[in-house]
Structure 1
Amino acid sequence: MFLQDVLDVTVKKLKSQTANVLTLANLSLGGFAIIVGINGNLNLSLLLIFIAALADRFDGMVARKLNIESELGKQLDSMSDIISFGVAPALLIYQGILSDYGAPGSFFIVFYIGCGAFRLARFNISENNGYFTGLPITAAGVLATLSFLAIPYVPSQTFIFIMMILSFLMVSPFKLKKV
């Protein structure tokens, strides 16, 4: 009987951390995307950001399905998202094209990261009413990352506007239904 109790407690503890493990996978993938991006491997950085998006998609689903949502998980998710969908895509776009623009390129990259952090902070203190206010940082990060694929095909200054638009969309007051 004792062994069964220990096993039950262990399984319950493992189950309670499943979503957090996925969230930490998101964070780790974003961290690795930054490291490989700094080292010039931008295609691998892009791939890691997309895999981080998958982990981010599933952590919330798992938390709701297993009924293990927590305030800690919500905060950890936001911290992971600023890395994977704020800093990593910003660095990818900076390394890929906007470094050519010097200070203005740097400004719009840092502005994007700041707007993403603001968006996450606002989300964390808002009530869960079935709507997002502004573009979620995950969507903005995925769109920024996707735009990297267009670098050979569009004028380079387009990316300043892409980062500016995504920044403003994250902090805008429009409502978007959660899916």
Structure 2
Amino acid sequence: MTFIKLLKIPDVVTLGNAMFGMLSIFSAFSGKADIAFIFILLAAIADGADGFLARRMGSSAIGENLDSLADAISFGTAPAVVIFLIYGHLQPSLVGAVTCIYVICGVLRLARFNTKNKAIPDFEGLPITAAAAVLASYLLMGDKYIILYGIVTIMLLLSYLMISEHPYPKLRHPKAMAIMAIVFMLPILSYFVLPEYLSICATLMFLLLLLYLESPIMKIPRQYYDE
């Protein structure tokens, strides 16, 4: 009963994030790759929603730690486990090593975030949610676009970006968050309603996320994120 009293609505959404992460892992064990990555995207939407709600409704005493733990499951462990289960048989040692590196860098990224000043305008390093979304969108593009060394390269790049000091904009403006929610929802809706368009929607999402990955290099003016 104590936990029920502690939890607020944003915390319930955060728990939904963790639940989607676990469902992603369960789906991979069942051999259902596409739905495993769809669950990761659903977790990302829940992660964005809990942050939005926490800013509007206030967070609980355990909210911040709960959020990081859920993120470690859904955006660190889940992508690594799913990718190893699906592609690990091709080169077990290589895929195992790269997925471990990804998880370690993701956990380090979360730990650093929890100890940083939250008032700063940028994220330091790529958010782990964005890293997982890049992987999910790439692996939903279709088998003809996916190669093992492409997965390895992307995971190593994301691992580096997560622990780097490159500044990544925080998307907090409602308009920017609404646009990103639509981008994330397109592959999900396509999977359930129009599966023949899943590859197109995932490709669009992947390309847009690449722009975000490149934002520290391109030095995109902040107003394009804040307005």
Q: TM-score, normalization: structure 2? A: 0.69
Q: 1:158 aligns with which of 150, 165, 169?
A: 150
Instruction: Identify unmatched segments of 5+ residues in structure 1.
Output: 1-12
Match of residue 202 from structure 2: none
Q: Are 1:90 and 1:144, in contact at CA under 8 Å, matched by a contact in 2?
A: no
Match of residue 15 from structure 2: 24
Q: 2:112 aligns with which of 109, 112, 122?
A: 122
Moved over 4 A (4+): 13-16
**Letter aligned with residue 36 of structure 1:** S
Q: Give the deviation of 1:90 after TM superposition.
A: 1.6
Q: Secondary structure at the match of 1:100?
A: coil
Q: Are 1:29 and 1:51, in contact at CA under 8 Å, matched by a contact in 2?
A: yes
Match of residue 46 from structure 1: 37
**Letter aligned with residue 122 of structure 1:** R
Q: Secondary structure at the match of 1:132?
A: strand
Using the alignment, how far apart are the partners of 1:104 and 1:27 within structure 2? Answer: 27
**Letter aligned with residue 101 of structure 2:** F
Larger Rg: 1
Using the alignment, how far apart are the partners of 1:173 and 1:103 within structure 2? Answer: 29
Using the alignment, how far apart are the partners of 2:100 and 2:161 within structure 1? Answer: 15
Match of residue 36 from structure 1: 27
Match of residue 166 from structure 2: 174
Q: Secondary structure at the match of 2:77?
A: helix
Using the alignment, how far apart are the partners of 2:7 and 2:121 within structure 1? Answer: 24
Q: Percent identity between the aligned chains?
A: 34
**Letter aligned with residue 86 of structure 2:** G
Q: Are 1:93 and 1:144, in contact at CA under 8 Å, matched by a contact in 2?
A: no
**Letter aligned with residue 63 of structure 1:** A
Aligned runs of 1:36-75 on 2, under 5 Å?
A: 36-66=27-57, 68-75=58-65
Is 1:76 the equivalent of 2:62?
no
Number of corresponding residues: 166
Q: TM-score, normalization: structure 1? A: 0.86
Using the alignment, how far apart are the partners of 2:87 and 2:23 within structure 1? Answer: 20
Using the alignment, how far apart are the partners of 1:70 and 1:15 within structure 2? Answer: 7
Q: Give the deviation of 1:71 after TM superposition.
A: 4.8
Q: Secondary structure at the match of 1:135?
A: coil
Q: Deviations over 1:96-118 (max 9, x none)?
A: 32431111110000110110000
Cα 1:69–1:153, aligned 2, differ >3 Å: closer, same or farther?
same
Q: Are 1:98 and 1:159, in contact at CA under 8 Å, matched by a contact in 2?
A: no
Q: Are 1:115 and 1:167, in contact at CA under 8 Å, matched by a contact in 2?
A: yes
Match of residue 131 from structure 2: 140
Instruction: Identify unmatched segments of 5+ residues in structure 2.
Output: 172-227
CA-based RMSD: 1.8
